Amino acid sequence: SSLLAQESEMKLKKSSAFHLDLFVLGVAALLTGVLGIPPTNGLIPQAPLHTKSLQKKRRVYVDDKPTDAYEVEGVHEQRVSNLMQSLLCGIVCFRPFSDILREIPKAVLYG
């Protein structure tokens, strides 16, 4: 999904950081395994749907009349959604959320 989210049609300005992403996810998986807490998920900020929702689009005009088509100008690249996802995953590991989390069967948490 990371490759789909970074296709040329998305018109991203910043390059990908696959090596850093894999390293961070690996360290997070190691830490969550050692601590016995639910693993993090690196999918949401890199999903094509997320990238498409941040696109800047311009309506296409033909003969000075608007059409139903839109042209992608670029993507509003930001780090807020990545940070918020990580913070929300981290907050769930502390009380009172951890007590609630223990009541959920592990099979449900692992999908």
Residue 2 has pLDDT above 70, yes or no: no
What lies within 8 Å, CB to CB, of 6 at 6+ separation is 12, 16, 51
Residue 36 has pLDDT above 70, yes or no: yes
pLDDT single digits (tens) 39-52 = 766 555 567 777 88
Residue 18 has pLDDT above 80, yes or no: no
CA distance 88 to 96: 13
pTM for the model: 0.50
pLDDT single digits (tens) 47-104 = 777 788 888 899 999 999 999 999 888 888 787 887 887 788 788 888 888 888 888 8
Encoding tokens for residue 6? 């970074």
Domain ranges (residues) in the chain: 2-50+79-109
